[in-house]
């Protein structure tokens, strides 16, 4: 029995190699879906060399990952120089979990089937030159979509930002739609439909209207960035109920009103507060010094007055501070990389 003379370490490696390799090749149907995606490209970035070899298992194709059953679970083709349209056929891959097509040069829009896939949990099409409206998906479905991470940032999407779409995305954790040309208002359905939402980035768009009070229902929200839009009205006190917030950023809008120190202190986890470039008035809240975890504070280019709280030096983690206040026609700026600082 020569088998038992084989060293144990070699046997263990042999077993690991078996477990790590797909036991079944991808199906003919799944190969067909991938080739439909390839056919929609005007420039394939060299994919054809790998993908059009009918003799090879598509699990071995460039950018494709499969599970042990040979089903495609990941399509990762970031920065491949791809051009053309994104085919809806990717949504027909029933075990597909992760799609990363970022940093390519696609044309047209995003197929709605990818957002409403029954399997995809991560979809990244950032920096892809996609245009047109983002699909408004129907909310009259019996089950929730599994999508957890959606990154559509830095494209050319326009038209009104969807609202009904988010009502059925109960599993959404991160939504980045920044650096597009979306119009309309911030949907009040975002946190109601996605109670696990932890990151929301809508900055650098053309959103307008008031900040919805429903954002205060985002109990898991840690990052909220909606700077460089056309928002108006006040900062609703309800937003301070989102006590998990670590990053609150609304710079360069048209917000106004006074900052209520009694509510600000509720955000005890806050690391960054950026409200610069608005029209906030009144005195600087004395209670800011109670935000002991604060690292960045930006309140510049507003209409605030009064003395800066001397207790601000109690924020021992504060690294960057940018504050302006009007004294006749003079603005005083305080910029610091480490406390304490003086104005």
Per-residue pLDDT of the chain (343 residues; tens, 9 = 90+): 443 344 554 445 443 443 444 457 889 999 999 999 999 999 999 999 989 876 789 999 999 999 999 999 999 999 999 999 999 999 999 999 999 999 999 999 999 999 999 999 999 999 999 999 998 887 666 567 899 999 999 999 999 999 988 888 999 999 999 999 999 999 998 988 889 999 999 999 999 999 999 999 999 999 999 999 999 999 999 999 999 999 999 999 999 999 988 999 999 999 999 999 999 999 888 888 899 999 999 999 999 987 777 778 888 888 877 776 543 323 334 444 344 333 2
Three-state SS across the chain?
CHHHHCCHHHHHHHHHHHHHCCCCCCCHHHHHHHHHHHHCEEECCCHHHHHCCCCCCHHHCCCEEECCCCCEEEEECCCCCCEECCCHHHHHCCCCCEEECCCCEECCCCCHHHHCCCCCCEEECCCCCCEEECCCCCCCCCCCCCCCEEECCCCEEECECCCHHHHHCCCCCEEECCCCCCECCCCCHHHHHCCCCCEEECCCCCCEECCCHHHHHCCCCCEEECCCCEEEEECCHHHHHCCCCCEEECCCCEEEEECCHHHHCCCCCCCEEECCCCEEEEECCHHHHHCCCCCEEECCCCEEECCCCHHHHHCCCCCEEEECCEECCEECCECCCCCCCCC
Whole-number pLDDT of residue 330: 30
Judge whether 333 and 306 are in contact, CB under 8 Å: no
What's residue 289's pLDDT?
A: 87
Decide if 108 contacts 135 (C-beta within 8 A): no
Whether the CA torsion 127, 175, 237, 242 is positive or negative: it is: negative
Identify the CATH class of 25-264+283-291: alpha beta
Residue 279, both tokens: 């029209």
Give pLDDT, residue 25: 81
Rounded CA gap, 176 and 153, in Å? Answer: 6
Contacts of 261 (CB under 8 A, 6+ apart): 285, 286, 287, 288
Residues 56, 76: Cα–Cα separation, whole Å: 18
In the chain, list all ranges with CATH 3.80.10.10.
Answer: 25-264+283-291
Give the predicted TM-score (pTM) of the model.
0.87
- Closest by CA to 334, choosing from 284, 293, 287, 292, is 284
pLDDT given for residue 123 in this prediction? 98
CA 340 vs. chain centroid, Å, equals 34
**Residue 54: per-residue pLDDT:** 66
CB atoms within 10 A of CB 31: 20
Residue recorded with tokens 């991470």? 149
């Amino acid at each position: 029995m020569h088998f038992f003379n084989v060293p144990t370490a070699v046997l263990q490696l042999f077993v690991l190699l078996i477990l790590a390799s797909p036991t079944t090749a991808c199906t003919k149907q799944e190969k067909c879906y991938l080739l439909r995606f390839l056919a929609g490209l005007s420039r394939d970035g060299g994919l054809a060399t790998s993908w059009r070899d009918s003799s090879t298992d598509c699990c071995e194709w460039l950018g494709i990952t499969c599970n042990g059953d040979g089903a495609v679970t990941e399509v990762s083709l970031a920065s491949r120089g791809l051009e053309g349209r994104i085919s809806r056929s990717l949504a027909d891959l029933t075990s597909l979990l992760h799609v990363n097509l970022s940093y390519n040069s696609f044309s047209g829009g995003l197929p709605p089937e990818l957002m409403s896939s029954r399997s995809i949990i991560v979809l990244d099409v950032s920096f892809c030159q996609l245009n047109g409206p983002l699909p408004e998906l129907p909310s009259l479905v019996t089950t929730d979509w599994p999508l957890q991470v959606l990154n559509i940032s830095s494209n050319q999407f326009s038209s009104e930002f969807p609202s009904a779409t988010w009502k059925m995305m109960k599993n959404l954790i991160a939504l980045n739609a920044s650096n597009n040309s979306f119009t309309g208002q911030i949907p009040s359905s975002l946190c109601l439909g996605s109670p696990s939402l932890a990151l929301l980035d809508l900055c650098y768009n053309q959103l307008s209207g008031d900040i919805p009070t429903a954002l205060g229902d985002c109990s898991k929200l840690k990052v909220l960035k909606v700077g460089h839009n056309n928002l108006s009205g006040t900062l609703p006190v309800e937003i301070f109920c989102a006590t998990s917030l670590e990053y609150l950023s609304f710079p360069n809008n048209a917000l106004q009103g006074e900052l209520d120190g009694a509510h600000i202190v509720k955000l005890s986890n806050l690391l960054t507060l950026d409200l610069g470039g608005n029209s906030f008035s009144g005195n600087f809240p004395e209670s800011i010094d109670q935000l002991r975890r604060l690292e960045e504070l930006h309140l510049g280019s507003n209409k605030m007055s009064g003395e800066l709280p001397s207790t601000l030096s109690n924020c021992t983690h504060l690294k960057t501070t940018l504050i302006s206040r009007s004294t006749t026609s003079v603005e005083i700026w305080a910029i610091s990389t480490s406390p304490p600082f003086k104005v």
